[in-house]
Every structure is written in structure tokens, then in C-alpha cells.
Amino acid sequence: MRFPLILSGLRKMQTRVSSMEDIKDSLQRAQPRAAPLVLLKVFVLFLALGVGFSVLSMYMTRNLKVQNVVLQTKARFEPCVEEQSRLDWWIRPPSNLMHNMSDKELLWRASFVPLVNKYPFKRVPKIAFMFLTRGPLPLSPLWEKYFKGHKGLYSIYIHALPWYQGNFTSDSVFYRRQIPSKVSEWGQMSMCDAERRLLANALLDLSNEWFVLLSESCIPLSNFSIAYKHLMRSRHSFIGAMDDPGPYGRGRYNLNMAPEVNITQWRKGSQWFAVSRKSAVSIVKDTTYYPKFENFCKPNCYVDEHYFPTLLTIESPHLLANRSITWVDWSRGGAHPATFGGADITETFIRSILEGHTCLYNNQSTSLCHLFARKFAPSALEPLLQVAPKMLGFG
Ligand SMILES: *[C@@H]1O[C@H](CO)[C@@H](O)[C@H](O)[C@H]1NC(C)=O
Ligand SMILES: *[C@@H]1O[C@H](CO)[C@@H](O)[C@H](O)[C@H]1NC(C)=O
Ligand SMILES: *[C@@H]1O[C@H](CO)[C@@H](O)[C@H](O)[C@H]1NC(C)=O
Ligand SMILES: *[C@@H]1O[C@H](CO)[C@@H](O)[C@H](O)[C@H]1NC(C)=O
Ligand SMILES: *[C@@H]1O[C@H](CO)[C@@H](O)[C@H](O)[C@H]1NC(C)=O
Ligand SMILES: *[C@@H]1O[C@H](CO)[C@@H](O)[C@H](O)[C@H]1NC(C)=O
């Protein structure tokens, strides 16, 4: 260590300085003959002090610089100090999804919106695919095929149980795409929190323009190119937002929500949305309606069916398609939609999902109403992989 060395040097100087009194005494007492020698001694002392201080200050400066670089590296995983002055630094997505921000910090950070509409750089818009799951993604091989060849046009986010660790290998599109998570329960506010957490993490990447919420039982119904064009050209966010007068619709409205939420604004829809960046920001920045839903949409209100559709209907009704883009089969009745397994997957069945629908798209009639479908069991994987090239246009 150099520091103790310098210290001991200083200490030596101190002992010499403490003998200053002696020097002064000797100066006073000195005969004229002795004066040049004493002056030389004083000169050497000051020279030593000067050299000592410059060595010390050089040491300090270098040490501080090193500390500075270490700090900056820690903060950004980037060794270069100058880069902060370049635009790249501000528009680069986080390299590590496992950040340490609290939900409060994350939502605040994600609510930043540029106020200049034209981007001063080439921005290729991406779709954020947000998987809300408890753990494994059994249909991931199908999704891998779907994403193949479209790097740079999508990003993936996974919200699993906090203790779940996916074991995707580094060549997988799902590798290291898990975000910090908390336990979430169906029908509870914790489910909306998880969805907002996914949206907020995805919003941190400025390139993400569309945000699709999916579960582990979802499948794509078209190839990636078709879905990309369809979403990028849409003027409306795809979220079910129905004004249902019955007990499971308006019947779940609580008068305590007024005046922020009027019963005429109360909406219902499935949670599986595909929303534009604008709608995504509306959802993460909300502090007005959140407490109303948190306090008054329980226990049998199923807040995840009402919060986002109602919030978006109040904030920007003209941006909503009022329908979901994820196909689901409620025809079997009961509290849960049908789940399809290996034996169900035939060309006829897939054709029945793809055909025979009409809906509005940018105010015009279309037969392409769904880009995704649920619910599919793990056993459906193999037959789906087989029919995908012919029926779904990929694989
Ligand atoms: C988050 O905090 C934990 C504990 O404080 C630490 O071990 C971990 O490295 C941090 N992660 C990041 C990405 O900063
Ligand atoms: C991940 O773990 C599951 C079981 O937990 C196993 O079936 C699967 O093959 C593993 N995948 C990889 C890529 O190691
Ligand atoms: C809800 O809004 C409608 C029209 O906007 C109004 O007539 C009605 O009084 C409002 N209801 C409540 C409970 O505020
Ligand atoms: C969706 O519903 C809102 C009212 O809740 C309406 O203003 C909007 O125009 C509807 N969107 C479409 C595409 O019809
Ligand atoms: C949508 O279509 C309806 C009639 O079909 C028309 O009244 C309305 O102005 C159209 N809206 C837009 C934004 O084109
Ligand atoms: C996607 O599917 C459409 C129709 O099925 C097809 O025309 C197109 O070539 C496909 N695109 C790719 C990249 O496979």
C-alpha cells in the first residue's frame, strides 16, 4: 500500500516540524556564520513538504477517478464514461430485466412520455409479447418457430411466480426474459398489478409500440408478419369493453366509485389485451381510478375483468376497438372457457377458429378478427407443430 508509506513520510516531516521551535530558537541564538546552514535546512524542509503534498494529491486524484469509473460501471454495466452524452445512452433498452426498482419506482419511470412526436433517430417499432404465467411455458417450441427470423421486431417479457426460474438455454427467445414478479391471484388486484408490471417493464424499451398480454396456454393464429402488420396499422387498442346491464356487468358496480367512475362508464372484458403504447401508458400512469377499484371492486367483482376496460373507456374511448384479438371458446358454458388438448387439434378445428368471423378493423369490415387463441393444453403442442406450416403460415 502506498498510502501508509506516505503517512509515515508525513509523520517524519511532522517530527521535523515539531523541531521548528528548535530551529526558531537556534535562529534567534545563531551567530551570523551559522545562518546560511539554517536557511538551507528550512528550504529543504519546505521542499520536502511540497513534494509530499503533490504526491498525496496525485494519489488522491487517481484513486477518486478509479472509484468514479467503478461506480459508473456498476450503475450502467458500461465502462465508458463519455457515452452518457450521446443519445444512444438514453434510448437503449435495459440490458438486464432483473432490476431492483419497486413497483412504485417502476411505474413512475415507465410513465415518461416524449413530448416531441417525431423521433430524432430511426425507430423500428416492436411488439412486446408479455407472458403472464405461473411457471413453465409448455407451448414455447411453437412460439420459438413463430418468432424465428423476426429478430428486432419483437421483445418478450415473462411474469412468473417469484421463486420460479425458467431454464431456457441461451439460444431461446425466452432466455433471460423474466421480470421481477410478485404472487398474483385471479380476480384480485394483484393480477392487475402483475399486468401493469409487465406493461411498465415493456414500456422501458422505447421501441415497443404494441403490448400483447398472453398466458402459457395461448397460441398464435397467424405468422408473425401478418400479426405485425395488423397491429402496427391498427388505430385501436384491442381490449374487450362491454357495457353489460346484467348482474355480472353493471351488477358489479359499486356506487362508492363515483364520481371518478360513473355506472355508464363501467365496462367488462377479458384480460387478454393487445394495446398500443398510448393505452399502455394510460394504464401504468393511473393513480385516480386504481384506489377506487382496489377498495370497491371486491370480493366477487373480478377486478381484472373491469379495471383496464373501464379506465381506458374513461380516458380514451376513441382509441378502443372494444373487442379482444384473442380467440376463446365459451360455448361449452360454465365459469371457464374450453381447454383444447392433443385430440382436439385437427385441420377442421383450426379452420373453424380462423374462418367464419367478421369484425371491424379501422372502421372497416374484416374477416381477420383474431391473431391469438386460448386455451391450449401442453398435449396440443405436437399436433399444433404439425399443422402450423399449412394452417398458421409458419413453422
Ligand atoms: C438487487 O439487489 C440485490 C440485493 O440487494 C443484489 O444482490 C442484486 O445484485 C441487485 N440486482 C441488480 C440488478 O442490481
Ligand atoms: C427445463 O426443465 C424441465 C423440467 O423442469 C424439463 O422438462 C426441460 O427439458 C428443461 N429444459 C431445458 C432447456 O433444459
Ligand atoms: C353518470 O353520468 C350521466 C351522464 O353523463 C349522468 O346523467 C348521471 O347523473 C351520472 N351518474 C352519477 C351517479 O354520477
Ligand atoms: C368503443 O366504445 C367507445 C365507448 O365506450 C366508443 O367511443 C368507441 O368509438 C368504440 N370503438 C369503436 C371502434 O367502435
Ligand atoms: C366510421 O364509420 C362510420 C360509419 O360506418 C362513420 O360514421 C364514422 O365517421 C367513421 N369513423 C371514422 C373515424 O372513419
Ligand atoms: C405469412 O402468411 C401469409 C398468409 O398465410 C403468407 O402469404 C406469407 O408469405 C407468410 N409470411 C411469411 C414470412 O412466411
In which band, very low, low, confident or very high, does the pLDDT at 17 lie, cut at 50, 70 and 90? Answer: very low
Nearest CA among 88, 298, 55 for reference residue 191: 298
Residue 23 lies in a domain: no
Residue 372 lies in a domain: yes
Angle, vertex CA 127, rays to CA 121 and CA 130, nearest 5: 135
Q: Please write the tens of the pLDDT for every residue from 145-167.
A: 999 999 999 999 999 999 999 99
Instruction: State if residue 167 touches ligand 2 by the CB under 6 angstroms criterion.
Output: yes
**Ligand 6 pocket: which of 223, 355, 392 to mutate (most atoms <8 Å of CB)?**
223
Residue 115 lies in a domain: no
Ligand number with the minimum distance to the CA of 320:
4
Residue 111 lies in a domain: no
Q: Please write the tens of the pLDDT for every residue from 162-207.
A: 999 999 999 999 999 999 999 999 999 999 999 999 999 999 999 9
Q: Which residues pair with 275 in a beta bridge?
A: 211
Residue 35 lies in a domain: no
Residue 347 lies in a domain: yes
The Å distance, Cα 171 to ligand 2 centre, comes to 14
Total structural domains within the chain:
1
Evaluated on CA atoms 188, 194, 199, 203, the torsion sign reads: positive
pLDDT of residue 86: 87
Q: Please write the tens of the pLDDT for every residue from 352-384.
A: 999 989 999 999 999 999 999 999 999 999 999
Residue 12 lies in a domain: no
Nearest CA among 329, 292, 317 for reference residue 307: 292
Residue located nearest, by CA, to atom 3 of ligand 3: 264
pTM above the 0.85 mark? Answer: no
What number does the ligand 3 atom closest to the CA of 259 have?
14
Peptide bond preceding 317: is omega within 30 degrees of 0, i.e. cis?
A: no
Residue 201 lies in a domain: yes
Residue located nearest, by CA, to atom 12 of ligand 4: 321
**Ligand 2 pocket: which of 167, 174, 381 to mutate (most atoms <8 Å of CB)?**
167
- What is the three-class DSSP state of 71? helix
Q: Cβ distance 184 to 193 under 8 Å?
A: yes
Give me the domain span that covers residue 171.
125-392
Peptide bond preceding 375: is omega within 30 degrees of 0, i.e. cis?
A: yes
